[in-house]
Amino acid sequence: MTDTDIKKGLAGVVVDYTAVSKVNPETNSLLYRGYPVQELAATQSFEAVAHLLWHGELPSDAQLAELRESERQHRALLPSVKAVIDGLPVDAHPMDEVRTAVSAIGAEETAGISNVLDAVGSPEENLERSIRLFAQLPAIVAYGQRRRRGLDLVEARDDLDYAANFLWQTFGEEPDEVVVDAFNRSMILYAEHSFNASTFTARVITSTLSDLYSAVTGAIGALKGPLHGGANEAVLHILTEIGDASNVVPWLDAALAEKRKIMGFGHRVYKKGDSRVPTMKAALDTLVAHYDRPDVAELYETLESEFVSRKGIYPNLDYPSGPAYSLMGFDTLTFTPLFVAARITGWTAHILEQQASNALIRPLSAYNGPDERHVEGYVPDEAEL
Ligand code: CMC
């Protein structure tokens, strides 16, 4: 085995087929079940895209109505889950809160299964579990932000669709249409992205025939990291640190001299730009106009053009989504939980796909530790020889 046989970070390694989405860095395109993500963001609701990811086709009107009905039925924050969240420190990181809540839901929903061989569940059960998590995550994320602000839970509104209800449960105010539209687009753009680190984590866990909740809980842990989903939170930290467009040049000089990574830029697969960025930037622009915050756009564009011209490294989706969520009124720490609420659709579509055609994921490693050695004085038992 030589160094070139080692695919550090699995870079460039194709490990399986998927029919859920296609990332093509050559054409800079991302397709969900064949549809360009930009077209979906411009024309569909997040609920319709969830159906597409789970079933492979966009829903008929009747199918969409059925999913919406099911989503509404399961929106409430379960009292037992609320109690688990309330037991956590109020300054726990919201990703820890969401991870713990999903784990608690799993313990409840799989209670009574006494044989580990039954843990995985049937495809029908797992689709229902997916829909319930999709429906429950907004309340978990919204309540998390409110709890940190010392506010009470806001009950779901049956007359609002997913995106509007999510904003309602977070802020307790009926949202403006422009905000609902930008939020819906962000959820669609974040929904799915092939074998990224968190999805692959979910597939690894699923491949052991563990249950869907364990796979999602693991995926949330992977998403928290700033090289992955945590980047949208980290983007806002750096924009806040810079403060104003006039500070970009000196800030960037210092950051690059310290070899800091500039959050929201770069991608393992896309080297010529992330295809989701123009769509999310357009949504950000609508928010900039709506809230009359040209300063936000100026800082965004100045940092982008300075960094791209110096390093040739382009923004990823987390770069426009960070300031967009901030303008909507979300706390910086809530950004990655929003990513969870969106990516639950892609994760669960991959979990269902992995379950339908499973092979235990178990790669090899090249050992580079000490040569074989022995414990001093150890004499093997005769039975061991
Ligand atoms: N800022 C500064 N330098 C960078 C950046 C960046 N954001 N991204 C890459 N580079 C440099 C890096 O320092 C390295 O330089 P050198 O060869 O001189 O050591 C070179 O580019 C290659 O970087 P890498 O980290 O080895 O490449 P990768 O393919 O493993 O990295 C990445 C992909 C996303 C981890 C990286 O670009 C990064 O850390 N970006 C910042 C975090 C971020 O925005 N993450 C979100 C990713 S997209 C959304 C998601 O999946 O959640």
Q: Each residue of 214-270: pLDDT tens digit?
A: 999 999 999 999 999 999 999 999 999 999 999 999 999 999 999 999 999 999 888
d(CA 113, CA 212): 14
CA nearest to 28, candidates 279, 379, 270: 270
Q: Which two tokens stand for residue 44?
A: 């569909």
d(CA 155, CA 251): 43
pLDDT score, position 109: 92
Same domain, 112 and 251: no
pLDDT score, position 382: 84
Same domain, 80 and 216: yes
Q: Which two tokens stand for residue 186?
A: 């962000």
Q: Which two tokens stand for residue 364?
A: 């090899």
Q: Is residue 376 part of a domain?
A: no
> What is the SS3 assignment for 331?
coil
Same domain, 125 and 189: yes
Residue 27 has pLDDT above 90, yes or no: no
State how many domains the chain has: 2
Q: Are 54 and 21 in contact (CB under 8 A)?
A: no
pLDDT score, position 271: 85
CA 361 / ligand 1 centre spacing (Å): 26
- What ipTM does the predicted assembly reach? 0.96
Pocket (CB within 6 angstroms of ligand 1): 196, 227-229, 231, 261-268, 313, 316-318
* Backbone dihedral angles phi then psi of residue 32, each to the nearest 5 degrees: -100, 115
The string of pLDDT tens digits covering residues 61-72 is 999 999 999 999
Share of the chain above pLDDT 90, in %: 91
Q: Is residue 361 part of a domain?
A: no
Which residue's alpha carbon is at the smallest distance from atom 49 of ligand 1? 228
Average pLDDT over residues 11-29: 92
pLDDT score, position 182: 98
Same domain, 199 and 270: no
Active site residue 318: yes
Distance of CA 96 to the CA centre of its chain: 14
Same domain, 159 and 92: yes
Same domain, 159 and 243: no
Write down which residue in 328, 348, 372 finishes a domain. Answer: 328
Concatenated DSSP letters of 228-293? TTTHHHHHHHHHHHH-SGGGHHHHHHHHHHTT---TTB--SS-SS--TTHHHHHHHHHHHHHHHT-
Residue 17 has pLDDT above 90, yes or no: yes
**CA of 228, closest atom in ligand 1:** 52
Measuring CA to CA, how many Å separate 56 from each of 11, 79, 184, 253, 322? 28, 34, 20, 47, 30
Which residue's alpha carbon is at the smallest distance from atom 34 of ligand 1? 267
* Backbone dihedral angles phi then psi of residue 309, each to the nearest 5 degrees: -70, -30
Which residue's alpha carbon is at the smallest distance from atom 24 of ligand 1? 268
Residue type, 104: A
Which residue range is the domain that position 261 belongs to? 231-328
Residue 26 has pLDDT above 90, yes or no: no
Global pTM reads 0.96
Q: Which two tokens stand for residue 362?
A: 């178990």
Active site residue 267: yes
Which residue's alpha carbon is at the smallest distance from atom 4 of ligand 1? 261
Average pLDDT over residues 100-110: 96
Of 84-98, 325-339, 369-383, least confident by mean pLDDT is: 369-383
User: Hey, which residues does 31 pair with through a beta bridge?
Assistant: 22, 36
Annotated catalytic residue within 51, 193, 228, 267: 267
Same domain, 205 and 284: no
pLDDT score, position 234: 95
pLDDT score, position 4: 79
The string of pLDDT tens digits covering residues 78-89 is 999 999 999 999
* Backbone dihedral angles phi then psi of residue 151, each to the nearest 5 degrees: -110, 160
Average pLDDT over residues 103-110: 95
- The per-residue pLDDT of the chain, averaged, comes to 96
pLDDT score, position 205: 98
Same domain, 246 and 201: no
CA 9 / ligand 1 centre spacing (Å): 13
Distance of CA 171 to the CA centre of its chain: 22
Same domain, 60 and 184: yes
Q: Is residue 157 part of a domain?
A: yes
Residue 282 has pLDDT above 90, yes or no: yes
Same domain, 338 and 324: no
Same domain, 83 and 196: yes
CA 262 / ligand 1 centre spacing (Å): 8
Same domain, 287 and 142: no
pLDDT score, position 114: 87
| CATH number of the domain within which 253 lies | 1.10.230.10
CA 144 / ligand 1 centre spacing (Å): 30
pLDDT score, position 381: 87
